[in-house]
Structure 1
């Protein structure tokens, strides 16, 4: 089944030039934006995808992981090129205030970053700043709320609504074509520092699985900490022994998990129900952006089909 692409195929003309100045509320306050921004800088980790989908060429972005040119992964590269965007890239996990200042931005977006009040104040002295969507725990806002926030700040609301409708259509199409997904238990998993890591049911990739009909165990929401995740020792791998687990780990870590005696005793191992995401799919499900979701959906269907039927392949 071929899925319809979204984001880059939408008309670039859907940009509002009315309604300025405008007030934009976010988790860190309310920001006044005087006119349509022309020099946008992102200090969050994945906002470049949102800009490209909306037809905006940022002048500066923040590298998260992957090490790709312009901090742009493959699923967003065509959109970047179509805009002739060649943003400067800030590396490192902290916000480099001097780097931001050097870009001379007229809008700073931190919709996927946990800015401190002092950082927000310093950045606000450079240009208007947009923080994460209000009303959600840190790192937990759905991508739709983030897209709407960025769209309001840039005057691209109509285009954002088209993007969301297109992705909803893809998800509905995929769910209808795979009724065997409905009612199954599935979740994303991670492994670090000799601990398995689980995530709340409304974490980005888990929410995507839910829309396909697959449910994260209710116990996960009882275990998560304020950061939206929990860690357990290998002896509690029983928490993950469900219909399917989508492991977002490196190939080396995947082999380490497979070699663990506690893993080998699980139904996941015996019935080959683990999905071992490669680096590109891991990146797409981590970014959970308007451009990465379409790519992930195209990759997920056959992988989940194999896992649920006990035909999953090793990494």
Structure 2
């Protein structure tokens, strides 16, 4: 009788172990097909399990992210991601319309924060967003979401931060070190050519609107004022103190122009301001000290954008001389 009892107990225990294993497998599958996301992410979950996760110290606190993310949706900072040789599965419309990234974005979906379902449909394993991005709560349910506040980090630290997120911190830092050295050297050559006190105004024009920019407002401002160490006209410096940029009327425009003018505009469109007599009488314009570049390719401060602008500025200030 005892032998039969032991045998029955052993059989019951084996049955319970098998049942438990089956239930665990079913529970694992259920987690990858979450009703909150409306998308099945079994493949993404398997990849994440294989590669493991790491804790990323974001500005909003620690976030568990894939150690090697493969399906990134970048609603912000997409150019920083692309500059590290990583292709997201989804990007914002502004990056999608940027001519510098046309080739790199072939086959990449343009998504919007207004439509979280379009993000979920891509089954991302990592989402990069801004602090003002809409529907952050919903995005966090789709995949680990890392948030950056625009301007909280300078343009160099921002690239290193994204590099760390993607497991490419050393690569990002190497670019930072090399870029700052090269830009500083070009700045030194410009000052040797035109004097240490040479000034440059950075402005954007669009139709009848004109703005001057501070030292960290993209459009090459970080290169000219920070990396190269060129000077901003005093009147511009005072005007941009509050907002970082300042709107100008055509009548007062000449008062804010330096020895050189760097102009961000749509190069394939005529411009009323730059066709005006007021513009034509500005000393820098008369001397040919105007450097124009495409606004759609200058609104970011990532390595690809900065390298493109650095070449434009070097040629604009120094010609083809090396």
Bin the TM-score by the shorter chain: 0.7 to 0.9
Contact in 2 for aligned 1:275/1:303 (Cα 8 Å): yes
> Are residue 115 (structure 1) and residue 127 (structure 2) matched?
no
Match among 115, 123, 140 for residue 124 of structure 1: 140
- The answer to which structure has the higher helix fraction is 2
After superposition, give the CA deviation of every residue in 1:190-243 in whole Å (9 maximum; x if it has no partner): 124633211112323222112223212243343237653221211110333210
How big is the shift at 1:141? Answer: 4.2
Equivalent runs, 1:165-244 vs 2, <5 Å: 165-178=177-190, 179-180=192-193, 182-192=196-206, 194-204=208-218, 205-210=220-225, 211-224=227-240, 227-244=243-260
What secondary structure, in the 3-state scheme, does the structure 2 residue paired with 1:49 have?
A: helix
Give me the whole-angstrom Cα distance separating, in 2, the residues matched to 1:33 and 1:218: 46
Match of 1:73 in 2: 100
Match among 71, 84, 89 for residue 110 of structure 2: 89
> Are residue 22 (structure 1) and residue 55 (structure 2) matched?
yes
Q: Give structure 2 stretches of 5+ with no counterpart.
A: 1-49
In the TM superposition, structure 1's runs of 4+ consecutive aligned residues that sit over 6 Å from their partners are none
How big is the shift at 1:260? Answer: 1.4
Give me the whole-angstrom Cα distance separating, in 2, the residues matched to 1:141 and 1:236: 33
TM-score (norm 1): 0.72
After superposition, give the CA deviation of every residue in 1:14-70 in whole Å (9 maximum; x if it has no partner): xxx9995313222xx1241243122111012xx333223323231111221674xxx
Contact in 2 for aligned 1:140/1:228 (Cα 8 Å): no
Q: Give structure 1 stretches of 5+ with no counterpart.
A: 1-16, 307-315
TM-score (norm 2): 0.71
Greater RCO (Cα-Cα under 8 Å, separation 6 or more) = 1
Equivalent runs, 1:1-315 vs 2, <5 Å: 20-26=53-59, 29-36=60-67, 37-44=69-76, 47-64=77-94, 67=97, 73=100, 77=103, 80=104, 86-90=107-111, 95-110=114-129, 113=130, 115-116=132-133, 119-133=135-149, 138-139=150-151, 141-178=153-190, 179-180=192-193, 182-192=196-206, 194-204=208-218, 205-210=220-225, 211-224=227-240, 227-251=243-267, 255-277=271-293, 279=294, 282-305=295-318
Give me the whole-angstrom Cα distance separating, in 1, the residues matched to 2:256 and 2:170: 41
Q: Could you say what the CA RMSD is over the residues aligned between the two structures, in angstroms? A: 3.0
How big is the shift at 1:109? Answer: 0.8
Contact in 2 for aligned 1:50/1:290 (Cα 8 Å): yes
When residues 160 and 257 of structure 1 are mapped into structure 2, their CA distance, relative to the original with a 3 A threshold, is same
Contact in 2 for aligned 1:101/1:126 (Cα 8 Å): yes
